[in-house]
Amino acid sequence: MTTESPTGRPWEEEPIGTAIKQFEAKINELSSLVSSPEKDSQITQLLTEIGDRRSDLQEAIDVASDEPRADLLSLIDTLEILEKKALEMHS
């Protein structure tokens, strides 16, 4: 991500930057839980939270410029891989 948004503020101060940081934190949390099978209820709760935020992220993607949009799409791809792994662990 570039350091400044089109408004001249750092991306981290823009709503899209905040959404990206929150999503990255959830992905990191899910990733650590996926490696611990005894955490099934936490994985389920986290998957629910991430699913709830997915629509918000989709809205952010729809209005984002190219660079943050690419970052968000990459995060969503990572999330989908982790979700699949988490769901396989529940089976």
Which of these, 91, 74, 84, 73, lies nearest to 31 by C-alpha position? 84
| Residue 8, phi-psi category: left (phi > 0), alpha (psi -120 to 50), beta (remainder) | left
How does the average pLDDT of the chain come out, rounded?
A: 73
- Residue 6 belongs to a domain: no
pLDDT at 2 over 60: no
> Is residue 41 included in any domain, yes or no?
yes
61 secondary structure, DSSP code:
H
In a domain, residue 8? The reply is: no
pLDDT tens-digit map of 34-57: 666 667 777 777 777 777 777 777
| Segment holding 14, helix H or strand E | none
Average pLDDT on 74-81 reads 78
% of the chain at pLDDT higher than 70: 73
Q: Does residue 60 sit within a domain? A: yes
In a domain, residue 2? The reply is no
Q: What is the per-residue burial (b if ≥16 Cβ within 10 Å, else e) of 12-22?
A: eebebbebbee
Domain range for 56 is 13-90
Work out how many domains the chain is built from and give that number: 1
This prediction's pTM: 0.47
On the 0-12 / 13-18 / 19+ scale of CB atoms within 10 A, 69 is middle
